[in-house]
Each structure stands twice: as C-alpha cells, then as structure tokens.
C-alpha cells in the first residue's frame, strides 16, 4: 500500500522515512501517523498495511490470540459477559509483538540493518526478538532499575543493552544521542507510526471474532496508548466497508500516580513532576508522545479515563488468578480495577458485554512476594 507520514501536531505530511522519528517542522516535533494514499474506494481492503507485500510481515507466531469468557468474574460482578483476549500468548509474552512485527518488517523493507530503541521492558524484549529473527542489530537503552526479568529477556535475544542511570526519560535522551552520533535510525516504539499499524491487528481480530455482536466496552491499560489507538484504527477501517459496525466504548485505565492522558480528558493540568512511584511500570509513561491521539480515541468512542491505585491492582492480580486462572502482569491487572470502578459508577451495566485484553504475562514482572 502507498502511504505518507502525517504529523499529528501540525498535520503536515512527508514521504515515509525510517530515519525521521518526529516532525521536522521548526518547533513542532510531533509524532507521525500513517495515512494511506491509494485506497480503492470501489472495493476497499479490509486491512491496510504499510508494507510492499504482506508476505514481508515477519511471523514469529504473533496474533490470533484466544478470546475466553471469564465465567466466575462475570457471575461475581453481575455482568452478562466479561471476555478476556489473551494477548500474553504472543511470542514474547506481550501485545507489543504485534507492533514490533510490523515496525521491524517495514524497516527491513527499507534495508535498515541496525536500530536504536529505548524501553523499560516488554517493547524492548519484543523488538529484540524480531530483530534477531531478521538479523538486524539492535541497541536497547534501558533504565538502570528496569525489571531484571525483562532486561534478561532483552539480552537473551542478543540485543546490545545500554543501562542508563536516572529516570526513564534519561534512557530516551541517551538513545537519541547515540542514534545521531552513529547515524543509526532511532526506532522508538512510542514514536514509530509503523508500531500502531501492527497493533491494529488486535482490533481486526476482535471485529472478526465478535462479528455482528461487538462488545459494548473494551478496557485498555494505557501508557503510550498504542493498543488503544490501533484498536480504534481497525474499527475506523472496517466502518468504511461495513458502516453498521458498532464501535465499542474504548476506556483508558492509568494509575493514580501517573495519569497524563486521563487528566487531558478531564481538562486538568498535569505535569510529569507530579508523578509518583507505581508498580505498574508498563504504563508509567510521564509524557506519552501520543497522549492527545489517545485522549481523542476515548472521547470519540464515548469511553472514559479511570485512575486506579497500586493496592487495588495488586488485589485484582491475585483475584483474577484464583477466580479464572489468569496470571496477568501487574500493568495488565490495572484494567480489572478500572472495570470495578466503571461498574460501580454504572457506566458498565449488567446486560453489557465487556472485553479485556490481558496485555502481558504475570512472570514478566512477578509480584515481589511470589517466591517468598
């Protein structure tokens, strides 16, 4: 498919270029999204992808994750159907594989053989696996205090790990500097528009699975919002083919400690310096480059932003495992705290169908008391 990069901020477009990660307009620096330019309006394609050929999409077995009904939870919470889509069954244990597969495949089509990325965990591991498969050299910049399991996973795939002292932001700054000094593309999963084109497959699978009875609600743990945005993009694409398709309310769950996107929806000012510690490190993103795009999706689908506490997330992680046999990563368990709140405030009603993506597997970042 032919496409261009469009800046989310100033709306100017440029020719796709894997060496440019943010808008080059003076003082803009907006993130890009991919807009397709040769859509056949007579017979539109179901899934639009930014590759010359679909066969170039690297396959480590990502996608087509199962959907199951959480029987005990549906019963206990008095909701008609609570479903989980088991995104932790992706090859590296998290939904990020959908984005990495597309991003690394697109970079490979451009002939790129070395990349720089910063991550505190799941995205780094995922990008490392896909780079390994395509023999692409990858440098992953991680905060010194990133979860050990996740850093070990990144190293296992053969990536070069650069440990950077200080906050998560320091890793990003160091990665950008290294990329410039060595002329290696900065391929940040938070910025790359290709990453979102990969997470779109989540939405397409949900649409196909539920067919003419789409869920009323989908709840996302939101850091940078790539799964939330990808899901909504899939519904938008399919609406062009089937205008009757119902788009579920997309709800965003963040922690009380770091809620930048929820505060945008609520028209509150929030600055990264107000951040506090949280155990949900996968959504601890202080200044997500796609924060306004994420907030837009929530507003357009009549969803809500819900803040939850670490204690409630830990409680739900255990409940979920005991009740329905799901061992979710702490970050992923946040959506169950959000579910409880949405039911309490009657935004989710007893007759509704709810879908919860379990974005990462529990052993990625195990509870501290697990082995005691």
Binding site for Zn ion (CB under 5 A): 7, 9-10, 23, 25, 28, 30
- Report d(CA 49, CA 207) in Å as an integer: 17
Q: How far is the CB of 26 from Zn ion (least distance, A)?
A: 9
| CB 20, min distance to Zn ion, A | 11
Cβ proximity to Zn ion, 18 vs 360, nearer residue: 18
Name which of 16 and 367 has its Cβ closer to Zn ion: 16
Instruction: Determine whether 109 is exposed, middle or buried from the number of CB atoms within 10 Å of its CB (0-12, 13-18, 19+).
Output: middle
In the complex, the smallest distance separating the C-beta of residue 195 from Zn ion, rounded to whole angstroms, is 19
Task: Report the nearest approach of Zn ion to the CB of residue 273 (Å).
Answer: 26
Q: What is the DSSP letter of 361?
A: B
CB 121 within 8 A of CB 145: no
* CA–CA distance, 230 with 197 (Å, rounded to integer): 7
- For the bound state, the minimum distance from the C-beta of residue 11 to Zn ion, rounded and expressed in Å, comes to 7
Hey, how many other C-beta atoms are within 10 angstroms of the C-beta on 345? 10
- Whichever of 23 and 339 has its CB closer to Zn ion, that residue is 23
For 249, the token pair is 């309310």
The minimum distance between CB 29 and Zn ion, in angstroms, equals 7
Residues in the chain: 372
Provide the pairing of β-strand 13-14 with 3-7: antiparallel
Instruction: Please name the residues in contact with 41: beta carbons below 8 A apart, sequence gap of 6 or more.
Output: none
Three-state DSSP class for residue 281: helix
Of 194 and 361, nearer to Zn ion (C-beta) is 194
Helix (H, G, I), strand (E, B) or coil at 41: coil
Least separation in angstroms between CB 12 and Zn ion: 5
Which residue from 263, 268, 312 is spatially nearest to 286, judged by alpha carbons? 263
**Nearer to Zn ion among residue 28 and residue 161 (C-beta):** 28
Q: Report how far residue 203's alpha carbon sits from residue 301's, in angstroms, rounded to the nearest whole number.
A: 14
- Which is nearer to Zn ion, 7 or 151 (by Cβ)? 7
For the chain, the straight-line distance linking the first and the last C-alpha, in angstroms and rounded, comes to: 53
């Amino acid at each position: 498919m032919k496409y261009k990069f469009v800046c989310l901020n100033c709306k100017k477009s440029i020719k796709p270029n894997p060496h440019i990660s943010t808008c080059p307009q003076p003082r803009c620096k907006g993130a890009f999204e991919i807009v397709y330019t040769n859509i056949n309006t007579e017979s539109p394609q179901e899934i639009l992808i930014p590759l010359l050929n679909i066969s170039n999409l690297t396959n480590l077995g990502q996608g087509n994750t199962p959907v199951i009904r959480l029987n005990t939870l549906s019963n206990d919470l008095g909701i008609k159907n609570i479903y989980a889509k088991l995104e932790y069954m992706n090859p590296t244990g998290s939904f990020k594989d959908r984005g990495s597969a597309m991003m690394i495949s697109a970079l490979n089509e451009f002939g790129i053989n070395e990349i720089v990325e910063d991550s505190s965990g799941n995205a780094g591991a995922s990008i490392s696996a896909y780079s390994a498969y395509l023999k692409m050299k990858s440098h992953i910049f991680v905060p010194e205090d990133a979860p050990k399991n996740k850093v070990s996973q990144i190293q296992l795939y053969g990536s070069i790990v650069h440990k950077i002292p200080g906050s998560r932001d320091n890793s990003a700054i160091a990665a950008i500097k290294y990329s410039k000094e060595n002329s290696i593309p900065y391929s940040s999963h938070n910025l790359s528009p290709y990453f979102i084109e990969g997470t779109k497959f989540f939405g397409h699978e949900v649409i196909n699975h539920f067919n003419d009875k789409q869920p009323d609600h989908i709840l996302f743990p939101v850091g940078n919002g790539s799964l939330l945005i990808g899901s909504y993009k899939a519904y938008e694409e399919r609406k062009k083919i089937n205008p009757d398709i119902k788009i579920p309310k997309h709800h965003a769950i963040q922690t009380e400690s770091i809620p930048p996107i929820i505060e945008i929806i609520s028209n509150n000012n929030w600055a990264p310096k107000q951040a506090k510690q949280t155990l949900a490190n996968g959504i601890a993103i202080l200044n997500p480059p796609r924060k306004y795009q994420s907030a837009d999706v929530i507003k357009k689908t009549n969803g809500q932003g819900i803040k939850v506490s670490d204690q409630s997330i830990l409680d739900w992680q255990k409940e979920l495992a005991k009740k329905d046999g799901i061992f979710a990563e702490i970050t992923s368990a946040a959506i169950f705290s959000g579910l409880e709140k949405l039911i309490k405030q009657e935004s989710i009603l007893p007759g509704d169908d709810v879908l919860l993506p379990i974005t990462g597997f529990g052993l990625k970042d195990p509870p501290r008391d697990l082995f005691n």
